[in-house]
Amino acid sequence: MDTASLADLAVDIAREAGDLARRRREEGVAIAATKSAIADIVTEADREVELLIRARLDAARPGDGFLGEESGAERSGAEITWVVDPIDGTVNYAYGSPHYAVSIAAVTGEPDARTWTALVGVVHQPVTGETFHAVRGEGAWLGDRRLHVGEVGEAGGLVATGFGYDPATHAGDLARVAAVMPLARDLRRAGAASLDLAYVAAGRLDGYFERGLHPWDHAAGGLLVEEAGGVVTGAPDGRPGREMTVAAGAVLHARIVEALGL
């Protein structure tokens, strides 16, 4: 498997997709629909950017599977499946905040985080122009700089989290924040899971945890953290996923897992 060429392809497509997202943002953004909850929105740009990514992948690798946030799954049973969030941080995007990203991962087999092995992960932030990429067994990179997770000092870790769109989940999410806060020097909630994970990989955050993630939220970012020397686990089955995702360097990771009672 030539994973380096998969990574080159994903980087090229993520940058082209990011240029489109940024252009559409400059032209003005309209909310196209709400999804799981009234706060869970999709813009025309999310859909258009996903179509572009899907078309580029289809042209370059017609036999591969695909799972995208906006258009669902295609070609199950393929050896490689692309797991794509065209715009992660859609609410930031709709509000004109620069903190959003294109996230593209290639995984083996079905796009199920309980069983897949991520081969390649790319998280591209169009507004800063930063492209984070990881290749299994080869490391994680920001441009040509190799990434390493941070080490936590006595002041505690700089920890990020996120909250689900469904108000019914907020009390539980806040209780988990309260449980983790004693380990933290401070808390961030920036609004794009893929960037939270990329920032853990880059040492810009020490740790991250969130309940309720979808496969496209963490497929690329999770590999970035692992390849930067960190640990990514969660639930169900000890794997990052719907019930919980925890990502950090080994020491802080173990402390967060304990604080959350996982």
Complex with Ca ion: residue 69 or 210, whichever CB lies closer? 69
Asked if 167 and 37 count as a contact pair (C-beta separation under 8 A), the reply is yes
CB of 159 to ligand IPD, least distance (A): 14
Cβ proximity to Ca ion: between 215 and 234 the closer is 215
CB of 90 to ligand IPD, least distance (A): 4
Residue 89, token pair as written in the block:
């941080």
- Structure-block tokens of residue 50: 């996903």
Joined tokens for residue 146 = 């190799």
Interface residue with Ca ion, options 17, 57, 69, 123 (CB under 5 A): 69
CA 240 – CA 238 distance, rounded (Å): 7
Which partner from the list ligand IPD, Ca ion, none does 191 bind, CB cut-off 5 to 8 Å by kind?
A: ligand IPD
Least CB distance to Ca ion at residue 1 (A): 28
166-185 residues in contact with Ca ion (CB under 5 A) are none
Min. distance of Cβ 194 from ligand IPD in angstroms?
6
Please tell me the distance from the alpha carbon of residue 109 to that of residue 80, in angstroms, as a whole number. 6
For residues 27 and 143, the answer to whether their CB atoms sit within 8 Å is no
Please give the size of the binding site for Ca ion, defined by CB under 5 A. 5
Tell me the two tokens of residue 43.
Answer: 């813009």
- When asked if residue 85 is in the footprint of Ca ion (CB under 5 A), the reply is yes
H helices of the chain, in order, are 3-27, 44-60, 90-95, 170-180, 193-201, 215-227, 250-260
Of 18, 65, 68, 89, which lies in the binding site for ligand IPD, with binding defined by CB under 6 A? Answer: 89
3-state secondary structure of 240: coil
Interface map 142-171 toward ligand IPD (x if CB under 6 A): --------------------x---------
List interacting residues with ligand IPD (CB under 6 A).
Answer: 69, 85, 88-91, 162, 191-193, 210, 212-213, 217
